[in-house]
């Protein structure tokens, strides 16, 4: 696991002898992604620079040092991630006579040998893993960027500057690009709209004009002959979803569970490969418990597991994690975090997340990463189980709501919406709590009042897809809040993939796989973990598991109101059902209460009306109205306000970073790798 950065076509403004200095500046900005080693390589003829920071996981020796050149010297690579089947690929290369000898046992060297034998795309299509890769092809004068199939590892890129001074920049994080003097630092108001809607900025957009995220499953090329960026897809989540539904698994439910366990067992086994201490996050829920159960079943000693808890009622899963850990016999560590300890992390968030990001579960994610890093260098997680096995309650909620709504005229729906929002969220929560014991688990939700108010806001939707967009949106019309902005199209709006052959719930799952999972969940975990030099791995995102999950009939995922049915059956072979069955709980913190209490002064400073006017991004009246309603308790605007606060905090941090920027970084000593 590492951090990568570099540039291409540096232009007349930057003398070629300065390239190593620029690479050091860019990679030092993300040193925490790779504190163990650093490397730089330049192609002076084409103005190409590749930089690398290494977190040593496999082959800790110098033989794993990057940038690394292929045996043919045609390719040079910087690589962030892990190729879990690289030993299998090595055997294939050896049996075909493509390799005479290996220098070490790193997966980086395996990739390069594959490039020489099969080409870049041919190798990537054979690889099982998570990765962000930059490869310079000396023969064709082409720079290729590659991102893994689902988007576990980040990769940003874009041209900055104009004419012969234009520079193509890339890196694992935006702060690496900002460290280059060509970076233009222009905030995208359209991207800000997207952050207000979703609490994240979806690919291909970033918070900066001219800088994009490479979408999952994609390759990008730019060359000396063709400087226009070309992006192609080598694996499509949308196509896999449609193909899986059209070619369903035809065996019995028991056979499906058997096959799923075989795939998960192999995925977990391959992801336990490491030359450093390894463990797992454990919340006590279905997904993380399944991963830990598979780890412990294949380990000769107790697996190290980690969880955090909160003293606030409704936010503590640590007790459930502890019970699962005790049953499985893991070496478990838990940390009960006080509200003060959680809030103390907030000033770090702009640095950690690097662009506005406002999923409030970023706080416990960062805290559990800090806990795990005290004991291990690699941690497996249970992310993606909800998206693949129909785990989110909102899928059923949206489908049922649309079934009820679509039979009623629009005028009646609007009247019903006013009735729902006429009752406060607190009152709805109290009413739901009083009748909870009489309701099936599938109809029990955390914070039902907020969900009812949210549902009321989308009752005028013209389709299930439009309804779902409303449910996954915070600000319904963010362009009305951001000054001078137009909201860009996304996969959830005008650029939606062709999913018409899927039913409503399947479409929601597929869209989450393409958007919410990579741009929120995986980004949240990657930035939090890498900020403390912790590698995370996600066994559910082995693409063989993903593809099989889409082949499972929907009745094997959602059965009689039970979510993730097939996955639960795998888990129940290792953990008693009684330890798992309980209402689903989000991995969150009581942001709404904190904003009315200990965070009020901090928030007030960021939401000050004169400040909002001076900075010129938000229309102050709408922001202040929500802030005042929240403080009074009339409405819970915690998510809307957290979106704005995270942008404000980020913007403040970036302004300070620019003021602190050093114009004269330390000069490097020459290296033979600079070519």
| Structure confidence by residue, pLDDT tens digits, 95-110 | 999 987 899 989 999 9
| Residue ranges with strand state E in 520-662 | 535-537
Q: Given its phi and psi angles, is residue 411 left (phi above 0), alpha (psi -120 to 50 degrees) or beta?
A: alpha
Helix or strand (DSSP H, E) at 137: strand 129-137
Q: Where in the chain is the domain with CATH 3.40.50.620?
A: 238-389+507-579
Residue 669: pLDDT band (50, 70, 90) is: very low
pLDDT score at 412: 82
The CATH number that domain 2-235 falls under is 3.60.20.10
Is residue 76 classed exposed, middle or buried when 0-12, 13-18 and 19+ CB atoms within 10 A define those classes? buried
Report, as an integer, the average pLDDT of 140-161: 97
pLDDT at 674 over 50: no
* Buried b or exposed e, range 253-276, using 16+ CB within 10 angstroms: beebbebbbebbbbbbbbbbbeee
Task: Name the residue among 63, 72, 15 with its Cα closest to residue 42.
Answer: 15
Residue pair 270/128 in contact by the 8 Å Cβ criterion? yes
Answer yes or no: is 381 a known binding residue. yes
Comparing 13-22, 200-209, 577-586, which segment has the lowest mean pLDDT? 13-22
Helix or strand (DSSP H, E) at 41: strand 37-43
Answer with the residue of higher pLDDT: 20 or 595. 595
Task: Name the residue among 637, 600, 352 with its Cα closest to residue 481.
Answer: 637
Answer yes or no: is 555 a known binding residue. no
Helix or strand (DSSP H, E) at 83: strand 75-83
* Class in CATH terms, 238-389+507-579: alpha beta
Task: Name the residue among 215, 213, 196 with its Cα closest to residue 205.
Answer: 213
Residues annotated as part of the active site? 2
Answer with the residue of higher pLDDT: 58 or 392. 392
Distance CA(523)–CA(518), nearest Å, equals 6
Q: Which residue in the block uniquely carries the two structure tokens 């220098």?
A: 103
Q: Which residue in the block uniquely carries the two structure tokens 């007349």?
A: 12
Pick the most confident of 40-49, 224-233, 312-321, 619-628.
619-628
Distance CA(664)–CA(191), nearest Å, equals 32
Residues 574-600 have pLDDT tens digits of 999 999 987 665 567 889 999 999 999
Residues 298-318 have pLDDT tens digits of 999 999 999 998 887 667 788
Distance CA(138)–CA(160), nearest Å, equals 23
Residue 325, SS3?
helix
Q: Where in the chain is the domain with CATH 3.60.20.10?
A: 2-235
Answer yes or no: is 382 a known binding residue. yes
The arrangement of strands across the sheet holding 68-69 comes to 68-69, 75-83, 129-137, 142-147, 218-223, 230-233
Residue pair 566/159 in contact by the 8 Å Cβ criterion? no
pTM (predicted TM-score): 0.91
Answer yes or no: is 107 a known binding residue. yes
């Amino acid at each position: 696991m590492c951090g990568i950065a570099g540039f291409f076509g540096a232009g007349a403004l930057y003398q070629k002898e300065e390239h190593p200095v620029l690479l050091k500046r860019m990679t030092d900005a993300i040193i925490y992604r790779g504190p163990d080693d650093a490397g730089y390589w330049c192609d002076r003829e084409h103005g190409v620079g590749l930089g690398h920071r290494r977190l040593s996981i496999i082959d800790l020796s110098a033989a794993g040092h990057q940038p690394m050149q292929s045996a043919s010297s045609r390719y040079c690579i910087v690589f962030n991630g892990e190729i879990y089947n690289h030993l299998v690929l090595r055997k294939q290369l050896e049996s075909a006579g493509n390799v005479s000898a290996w220098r070490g046992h790193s997966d980086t060297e395996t990739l390069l040998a594959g490039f020489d034998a099969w080409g870049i795309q041919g190798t990537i299509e054979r690889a099982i893993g998570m990765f962000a890769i930059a490869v310079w092809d000396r023969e064709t004068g082409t720079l290729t960027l590659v991102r893994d199939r689902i988007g576990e590892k980040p990769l940003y890129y874009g041209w900055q500057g104009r004419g012969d001074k234009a520079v193509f920049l890339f890196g694992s994080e935006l702060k690496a690009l900002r460290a280059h003097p060509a970076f233009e630092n222009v905030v995208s108001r359209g991207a800000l709209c997207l952050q207000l809607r979703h609490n994240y900025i979806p690919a291909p957009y970033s918070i900066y004009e001219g800088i994009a995220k490479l979408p999952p499953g994609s390759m990008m090329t730019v060359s000396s002959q063709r400087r226009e960026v070309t992006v192609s897809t080598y694996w499509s989540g949308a196509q896999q979803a449609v193909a899986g539904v059209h070619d369903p698994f035809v065996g019995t439910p028991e056979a499906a569970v058997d096959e799923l366990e075989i795939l998960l067992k192999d995925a977990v086994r391959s992801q336990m490969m490491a030359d450093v201490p390894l463990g797992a996050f454990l919340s006590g829920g279905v997904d993380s418990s399944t991963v830990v159960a598979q780890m412990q079943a294949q380990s000769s000693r107790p697996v190290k597991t980690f969880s955090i808890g909160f003293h606030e009622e409704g936010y503590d899963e640590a007790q459930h994690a502890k019970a699962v850990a005790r049953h499985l016999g893991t070496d478990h560590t838990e940390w009960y975090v006080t509200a003060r300890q959680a809030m103390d992390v907030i000033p770090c968030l702009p640095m950690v997340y690097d662009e506005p990001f406002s999923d409030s579960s970023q706080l416990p994610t960062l805290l559990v990463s800090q806990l795990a890093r005290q004991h291990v260098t690699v941690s497996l997680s249970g992310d993606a189980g909800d998206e693949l096995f129909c785990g989110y309650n909102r899928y059923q909620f949206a489908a049922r709501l649309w079934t009820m709504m679509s039979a009623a005229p629009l005028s009646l729906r609007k009247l019903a919406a006013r009735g729902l929002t006429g009752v406060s969220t607190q009152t709805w929560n109290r009413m739901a709590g009083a009748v909870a014991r009489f309701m099936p688990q599938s109809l029990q939700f955390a914070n039902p009042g907020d969900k009812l108010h949210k549902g009321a806001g989308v009752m005028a939707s013209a389709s299930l897809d439009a309804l779902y967009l409303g449910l996954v949106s915070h600000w319904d019309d963010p362009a009305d809040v951001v000054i001078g902005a137009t909201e860009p199209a996304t996969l959830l709006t005008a650029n939606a993939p062709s999913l018409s052959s899927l039913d409503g719930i399947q479409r929601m799952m597929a869209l989450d796989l393409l958007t919410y999972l990579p741009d929120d969940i995986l980004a949240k975990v990657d930035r939090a973990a890498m900020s403390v030099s912790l590698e995370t791995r996600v066994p559910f995102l082995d693409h063989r598991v993903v593809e099989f999950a889409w082949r499972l009939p929907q009745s094997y995922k959602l059965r009689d109101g039970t979510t993730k049915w097939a996955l639960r059956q795998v888990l129940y072979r290792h953990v008693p059902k009684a330890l798992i069955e309980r209402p689903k709980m989000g991995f969150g913190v009581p942001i709404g209460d904190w904003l009315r209490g200990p965070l009020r002064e901090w928030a007030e400073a960021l939401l000050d009306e004169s400040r909002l006017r001076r900075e010129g991004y938000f229309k102050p009246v709408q922001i202040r109205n929500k802030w005042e309603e929240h403080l009074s308790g009339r409405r819970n605007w915690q998510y809307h306000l957290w979106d704005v606060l995270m942008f404000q905090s980020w913007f403040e941090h970036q302004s300070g970073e620019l003021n602190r920027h050093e114009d004269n970084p330390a000069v490097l000593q020459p290296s033979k790798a600079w070519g």
